[in-house]
Amino acid sequence: MKIPVRIVSIRQETPTVRSYTLDLEGQAFSFHPGQWVDCYVDAEGERGVAGYTLTSSPTTVGTIELTVKRNREREVTRFMHEEAETGDVIYVDGGQGEFYYKREMGDSLTLIAGGIGITPLMSMLRYVDEGTSDVGAKLFYSARAPSEMVFHRQLEDISGRNPRVDCVFTVTRPGGEPWEGHRGRIDDELLRAEGVDMGGIFFICGPKPMGQDMEETLKGLGVAEERIRYEQWW
């Protein structure tokens, strides 16, 4: 059901990505970590609709968060980046999608993200951090450059204070940007070196070539196909 929500804060995550905190204003709203919403600028949807991933934890009370990458060719996304201001009312319908985590799926998660594919996995990681006491999660996050790494500081903060959460970052094209971490793509060597639980559940989200490669890599490491979840948007 479509509901109105109010933008209460806008945060610039990277030069091309923003996060929006939306006040539910007392309305009921539920979702599983990893799901998305349809977003409308106006109640009638005259300016179109766009699907955005929820990046907050479902345990957060009163607000939800969406994270949006700039795309001037999409009207709603252009509005969010170029016109939206705090205080504006927009409309959301969700949560939606079959790519999500629930506690009964298991207590050991490996999350593998490429680029903006971090968004559904951020919701899962925040849920593990805020909504569970016995679930462990290890995140592998690859971006082209350090400046394109969405949520880098927040992820470091979570892993720094929660012993059940570990984050591994790597960049593929650092250019002239300073970077002391891993370089290159996520591969079987990195997964083995970081002691991944091959018996846990795996969530992959990123560009199609990366997702397909990771799926085959995990199978080659002995991970059962039914324990691999893969989401690709572009």
For 67-78, the DSSP string reads EEE--TTSHHHH
The CATH number given to whatever domain includes residue 131 is: 3.40.50.80
Assess whether 76 and 116 both reside in one domain.
no
Residues 82 and 120 in one domain: no
User: Exposed, middle or buried, 183 (CB in 10 Å: 0-12/13-18/19+)?
Assistant: exposed
pLDDT in tens, 49-70: 999 999 999 999 999 999 999 9
- Judge residue 213's burial from the number of C-beta atoms within 10 Å of its C-beta, 0-12 exposed, 13-18 middle, 19 or more buried: middle
Rounded to whole angstroms, how far apart are CA atoms 104 and 34? Answer: 15
Structural domain boundaries, residue 41? 3-96
Q: What is the pLDDT of residue 175?
A: 79
Non-local CB neighbours of 114 within 8 Å, separated by 6+ positions: 141, 142, 143, 186, 205, 206, 207, 210, 211
> 96, 122, 138: which is the final residue of a domain?
96
152, 124 Cβ separation under 8 angstroms? no
Tokens (6 digits) for 193: 């070196």
Q: Is 92 helix (H, G, I), strand (E, B) or coil?
A: strand
Please list the pLDDT of the chain residue by residue as tens digits (234 residues). Answer: 899 999 999 999 999 999 999 999 999 999 999 999 999 998 777 788 999 999 999 999 999 999 999 998 889 999 999 999 999 999 999 899 999 999 999 999 999 999 999 999 999 999 999 999 999 999 999 999 999 999 999 999 999 999 999 999 999 988 788 888 899 999 999 999 999 999 999 999 999 888 899 999 999 999 999 999 998 765
Same domain, 146 and 163: yes
* 138 in the same domain as 55: no
Please indicate, yes or no, whether residues 174 and 225 belong to a single structural domain of this protein: yes
- On whether both 209 and 173 belong to a single domain, the answer is yes
- Indicate the number of domains in the chain: 2
The answer to whether the CB of 101 falls within 8 A of the CB of 131 is no
One domain for residues 89 and 165: no
Same domain, 75 and 92: yes
Spell out where the chain has E strands.
3-14, 17-23, 36-40, 49-53, 63-69, 89-96, 108-114, 136-143, 165-171, 182-183, 201-205, 228-231
Q: Are residues 123 and 209 in the same domain?
A: yes
- Dig out the tokens for 20 from the structure: 């929006």
Q: Burial, 75: exposed, middle or buried (Cβ in 10 Å; 0-12, 13-18, 19+)?
A: middle
14 and 117, same structural domain?
no
Q: Are 20 and 136 contained in the same domain? A: no
Whether residues 20 and 131 fall in one domain: no
Please say which residue of 79, 96, 113 terminates a domain.
96
Domain boundary among 96, 112, 131: 96
Q: Among residues 137, 155, 120, 112, which one has the least CA distance to residue 197? A: 137
